[in-house]
Amino acid sequence: MSDVAIFLFLNSKIAYMKSLKSQGTLLILNEAYEDAEFAERNKLVEEEAGGRIYSPGELEKIVMEAGFNSCEIRLDAARNWLCLIAEK
């Protein structure tokens, strides 16, 4: 049986990532990642949502420190979208 969870913000969900079962898969889809070209828009999003937008490198570090064995990140730079797939 697979674990499935949907989160709006990463900040409080690191414990969940650490508890994900072995052979589990984590998928993060985000319509924004930290990037200078979109800094103004992303700042507004952070303020309105009360969350933080991470860079691809920060997300990869968090996921690997949570015990995942692999992490693949794909970016759509034109739209500032991110897809992260990590496996335990």
Q: Which tens digits make up the pLDDT trace of 11-69?
A: 556 666 666 677 888 888 888 899 999 999 999 988 888 878 889 999 999 889 888 89
CA distances from 85 to 50, 71, 78 (A): 25, 6, 20
Residues 56/33, Cβ–Cβ less than 8 Å: yes
Rg (CA), the chain: 13
What does the alpha-carbon distance between residue 49 and residue 70 come to, in Å, rounded to a whole number?
A: 29
**pLDDT recorded at residue 56:** 95
Query: Helix or strand or coil: residue 74?
Result: strand
CA distance 24 to 68: 9
